[in-house]
């Protein structure tokens, strides 16, 4: 049966494998109940209002999936019959287009395409909701998982990936996703109470994300979500939730620089759209020209070119070496985080890195965060 409006739902927070513990830590800090880690995500429990809050407030989650019901199905006819009895009207709206996806593992129903057809037909013939095949035409996606003959229905409550905060229009060649940037900032120990500097800022993701965290701005404040098209949505409760927090001016400033004037303009424009332009400064300069801003030390975090996708790896050794030399000479007391897919390039900085955690999949590459303690 479908879950009722105020009953406890299983809410699955998707995250790239390797970063689950960081997301669980964030979920605990934000007051979500009993985060449980599994590969590729974190499960919390709560009513639909917690689904909305997860999308609005969690910086590290890629998307939010909600389990809405399950039953045993040993063969397609059983799947057909039980899908038709499922109370779709409690979850889906008859006027909203739905896309159905399925995966089958270790089950007597092994053909995902046939499973999709049965569920699609059940929804369209019992509820009347239009079925679409293309993700860009769907306002809601239903995920069917059949494993060990247990059929589970989940809805994607997010829609577009949560790294799309709604204010970044301009991007560089290999942008860092906001969700990953938030988790890497967390992994570096950043909690919003110190300055952050990115000397290869590109479109400004690390700097803007750090400023938003410090100001208490919700990551989902400027976008729509798929849950707004579900039968479970309460617009008045959502308005109350989204208007309940007021940003506070951070105690520190946030700095980005790049040798590319276009990147500096892009980052500045993105910061304006994000509402953090009062607290960030972007400037055009080479790595060898960066100096610490006035005030206490903080965090230098950078996502330099990797060579795998942009530029020539041999030339990059000089760039990484220059970065490490500048930081060691001028940034005493600052911590450093460098994200790269190439351990050899990280080593070329000469920085005293701590042991690394396992690499994370990003854009077809495996990237690793290399961190230091405060530099001597």
Averaged pLDDT, 308-314:
65
Alpha helices per DSSP H over 243-333: 261-274, 313-330
The CATH number of the domain where 96 resides is what?
3.30.2130.30
Q: Is the distance from CB of 224 to CB of 56 less than 8 angstroms?
A: no
Q: What are phi and psi of 101, to 5 degrees?
A: -125, 150
Q: Is the distance from CB of 229 to CB of 95 less than 8 angstroms?
A: no
**In terms of domains, do 77 and 186 share one?**
no
130 falls within a domain? yes
pLDDT tens figures, 192-241: 999 999 999 999 999 999 999 999 999 999 999 999 999 999 999 999 99
13 falls within a domain? yes
pLDDT (0 to 100) of residue 3: 42
Question: Which of 104, 124, 156 is at the close of a domain?
Answer: 156
Q: Please say if the pLDDT value at position 5 is more than 50.
A: no
26 falls within a domain? yes
Strand-pair category, 280-284 with 150-156: unpaired
**In terms of domains, do 109 and 184 share one?**
no
- Tell me which residue range forms the domain holding 112: 9-156
Which residues on neighbouring strands pair with residue 67, listed in sequence order?
10, 154
Q: Please say if the pLDDT value at position 244 is more than 80.
A: no
173 falls within a domain? no
Q: Which residue has the higher pLDDT, 312 or 196?
A: 196
- The Cα–Cα gap between 356 and 290 comes to 26
Q: Where is average pLDDT lowest: 116-120, 167-171, 244-248?
A: 167-171
**In terms of domains, do 139 and 210 share one?**
no
- The Cα–Cα gap between 172 and 146 comes to 40
- The Cα–Cα gap between 186 and 161 comes to 20
**In terms of domains, do 356 and 246 share one?**
yes
pTM: 0.94
pLDDT tens figures, 15-62: 999 999 999 999 999 999 899 999 999 999 999 999 999 999 999 999
N- to C-terminal Cα separation, the chain = 60
pLDDT tens figures, 108-154: 888 899 999 999 999 999 999 999 999 888 999 999 999 999 999 99
What proportion of the chain, given as a percentage, has pLDDT over 90? 87
**In terms of domains, do 27 and 138 share one?**
yes
pLDDT (0 to 100) of residue 173: 62
- Structure confidence at residue 246 as a pLDDT band (50, 70, 90): confident
Only one residue has tokens 């909305």, namely: 52
pLDDT tens figures, 252-292: 999 999 999 999 999 999 999 999 999 999 999 999 999 99
**In terms of domains, do 152 and 189 share one?**
no
pLDDT (0 to 100) of residue 308: 57
pLDDT (0 to 100) of residue 314: 79
Q: Is the distance from CB of 251 to CB of 193 less than 8 angstroms?
A: yes
- The Cα–Cα gap between 345 and 85 comes to 58
105 falls within a domain? yes
**In terms of domains, do 152 and 23 share one?**
yes
166 falls within a domain? no
pLDDT (0 to 100) of residue 309: 53
**In terms of domains, do 309 and 365 share one?**
yes
Length of the chain: 376
What is the average pLDDT value for the chain, to the nearest integer? 93
**In terms of domains, do 213 and 134 share one?**
no
Q: Please say if the pLDDT value at position 172 is more than 90.
A: no
**In terms of domains, do 77 and 112 share one?**
yes
The CATH number of the domain where 253 resides is what?
3.40.50.150
188 falls within a domain? yes
Q: Is the dihedral of CA 343, 162, 113, 108 positive or negative?
A: positive
pLDDT (0 to 100) of residue 2: 46
Q: Please say if the pLDDT value at position 311 is more than 60.
A: no
Q: Is the distance from CB of 287 to CB of 326 less than 8 angstroms?
A: yes
**In terms of domains, do 148 and 205 share one?**
no
Written as six digits, the tokens of 339 are: 């994200």
- The Cα–Cα gap between 19 and 214 comes to 22
In eight-state DSSP terms, residue 330 is H
As for how many domains the chain has, the answer is 2
163 falls within a domain? no
Averaged pLDDT, 314-321:
91
pLDDT (0 to 100) of residue 136: 86
**In terms of domains, do 43 and 147 share one?**
yes
């Amino acid at each position: 049966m479908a879950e009722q409006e105020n009953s406890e739902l299983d809410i699955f927070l998707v995250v790239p494998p390797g970063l689950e513990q960081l997301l669980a830590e964030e979920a605990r800090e934000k007051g979500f109940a009993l985060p449980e880690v599994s590969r590729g995500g974190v499960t919390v429990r709560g009513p639909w209002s917690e689904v909305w809050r997860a999308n609005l407030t969690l910086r590290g989650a890629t998307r939010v999936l909600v389990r809405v019901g399950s039953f045993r199905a040993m063969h397609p006819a059983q799947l057909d019959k039980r899908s038709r009895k499922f109370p779709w009207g409690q979850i889906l709206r008859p006027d909203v287009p739905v896309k159905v996806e399925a995966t089958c593992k270790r089950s007597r129903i092994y053909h995902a395409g046939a499973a999709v057809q049965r569920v699609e037909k059940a929804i369209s013939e019992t509820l009347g909701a239009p079925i679409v095949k293309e993700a860009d035409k769907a306002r809601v996606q239903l995920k069917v998982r059949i494993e060990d003959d247990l059929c589970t229905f989940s809805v994607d409550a997010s829609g577009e990936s949560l790294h799309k905060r709604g204010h970044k229009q301009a991007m560089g060649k290999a942008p860092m996703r906001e969700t990953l940037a938030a988790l890497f900032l967390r992994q570096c120990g950043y909690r919003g109470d110190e300055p952050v500097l990115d000397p290869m800022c590109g479109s400004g993701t690390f700097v803007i994300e750090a400023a938003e965290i410090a100001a208490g701005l919700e990551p989902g404040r400027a976008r729509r979500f798929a849950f707004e098209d579900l039968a479970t949505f309460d617009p008045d409760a959502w308005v109350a939730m989204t208007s309940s927090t007021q940003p506070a001016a951070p105690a520190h400033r946030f700095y980005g620089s790049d040798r590319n004037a276009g990147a500096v303009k892009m980052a500045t424009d993105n910061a304006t759209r994000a509402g953090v332009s009062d607290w960030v400064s972007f400037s055009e300069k080479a790595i060898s020209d960066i100096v610490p801003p006035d005030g206490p030390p903080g965090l230098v975090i950078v996502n330099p070119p990797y060579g795998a996708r942009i530029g020539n790896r041999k030339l990059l050794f000089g760039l990484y070496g220059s970065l490490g030399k500048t930081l060691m000479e001028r940034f005493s007391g600052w911590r450093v985080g460098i994200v790269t897919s190439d351990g050899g390039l990280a080593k070329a900085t000469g920085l005293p890195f701590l042991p690394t955690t396992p690499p994370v999949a990003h854009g077809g590459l495996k990237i690793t965060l290399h961190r230091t303690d405060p530099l001597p």
